[in-house]
Amino acid sequence: MPKPDAQDSRLVRWFKERVPLQIEVFEQLAKEPIPNHMKRWWYALGGTPLVLFGILLATGICLTFYYIPEPGKAYQSVQYLTEQVYFGWYLRSMHRWAANLMVVAVILHLFRVFFTGAYRRPRELNWMIGCGLLFTVLGFGFTGYALVFDQLSYWAAQVGTGLAAKTPLVGGFFQRFMLGGEVVGENTLSRFFVFHIGVWPTVLTALLGAHIFLFRGLGIADIGAKQLSAAEARDHAGMLKSGRYFPFFPNHAMTEIVIALAILIVLTQLSIVWPASLVPPADPLNTPAHIQPEWYFFFQFQLLKLFPEKLALGLQLVMVLILVFWPFIDRALLQRWNNPWISPAFGLAGLAVFLGLTLNEAFHGYVLFDDWYQRLLAGR
């Protein structure tokens, strides 16, 4: 139990008597040494999804006050919120833009960790937890998009769950579980809603807790420097004195606060210039000419257009496995060839494929070389 100090105010003494917190532990955490390279914002990109998650929670709670997860009422409730409720359009637009920026921020953070090699021993586990965070963020996007229940979101849910059903062994079960029947309907909407406001936030919070615990415990990877011994890493005062580190508080905390304010300004601007819109309500009898998922699924969508279904699904599975187990694959590659350029080359190739397919779907909506590819498949 913490002992009240003679100089403490009455209020502080009151709390110290009742709340058994070791203030020194917090002081220690606040002074944690951060390597100097983290002064540059692109290294500190992990804080951005954290801020966005806060904004998504705050705006999401407000949206839930109005949203009704029933096929006959969902669209109308979103329309009411957008058109009638004071600042409803702003809340909805902020939520939508924050969701999109969250995916961008997580992908940028992933690439910064990748290209700085910060996933290497002893941070392999944190990389894998990070992959869990990425998949959860995508799960948020998929379930959230469907909730609006307009033509786009209805058909995206129908096609998305239909594709998931093709996954060997578990696909059929997964599809029935998500749909709660054969087609997108009443059960689907309530299940998507439960996932979006209950399951994913819980999973994300738990994974984030583990992620933060690990990177605070292991310390931020000191890029380009030799690995500290356990004793050196515990000597925070010595690390700070070396001039190669700076304290988390106030220095790094200020960087994160400035980033958070900038994000709020950018989100507000985006919401004003491009507010979240609505297309006509879902019509199960009328398949729209162009069905497209959210942009962060364009990559998979293009793979499905490029390759026969089974091959495309197989490729996706292989890519997911490579991503999750990359720290171990990288180690094996380094041991085999001892060439430091192999990993960045893999990363650049991955980035090029991801960007190429995403932009191709975004700008053309069709596959370049489609004719050529069909002829190739047909052996002509």
Among 92, 95, 123, 196, binds ligand HEM (CB under 6 A): 123
User: On the CB side of 277, how many CA atoms lie within 13 Å of its CA?
Assistant: 6
Among 127, 140, 149, 297, binds ligand HEM (CB under 6 A): 127
Rounded to 5°, angle at Cα 93 from 204 and 269: 110
Q: Is 110 in the site for ligand HEM (CB under 6 A)?
A: yes
Instruction: Give the residue with the Cβ less far from ligand HEM, 214 or 278.
Output: 214
Among 117, 130, 141, 293, binds ligand HEM (CB under 6 A): 130
Instruction: Give the residue with the Cβ less far from ligand HEM, 47 or 160.
Output: 47
φ, ψ of residue 245 to 5 degrees: the values are -135, 160
- The least CB distance from residue 107 to ligand HEM, in Å, is 8
Instruction: Give the residue with the Cβ less far from ligand HEM, 49 or 160.
Output: 49
- Binding mask 43-62 vs ligand HEM (x if CB under 6 A, - otherwise)? -xxxx-xx------------
Dihedral, 158, 315, 131, 363 alpha carbons, nearest 10: -60
Q: Is 117 in the site for ligand HEM (CB under 6 A)?
A: no
Q: Is 239 in the site for ligand HEM (CB under 6 A)?
A: no
Instruction: Give the residue with the Cβ less far from ligand HEM, 56 or 159.
Output: 56
Q: Is 215 in the site for ligand HEM (CB under 6 A)?
A: yes
- The least CB distance from residue 109 to ligand HEM, in Å, is 5
- The least CB distance from residue 8 to ligand HEM, in Å, is 33
Residue 176: C-alpha distances to residues 152, 187, 283, 323 (Å): 21, 10, 21, 28
Name beta bridge partners: 34.
246
* Binding to ligand HEM in span 312-351, by CB under 6 A: none
Q: Is 110 exposed, middle or buried (0-12, 13-18, 19+ CB in 10 A)?
A: buried
Stretch that binds ligand HEM, among 11-19, 41-49, 55-63, 235-243 (CB under 6 A): 41-49
Among 220, 263, 303, 304, binds ligand HEM (CB under 6 A): 220
Structure tokens at 305: 């257009």
* Binding to ligand HEM in span 149-188, by CB under 6 A: none
Q: Is 93 in the site for ligand HEM (CB under 6 A)?
A: no
For ligand HEM, the binding residues (CB under 6 A) are: 44-47, 49-50, 106, 109-110, 113, 118-119, 123, 126-127, 130-131, 133-134, 137, 208, 211, 215, 220-221
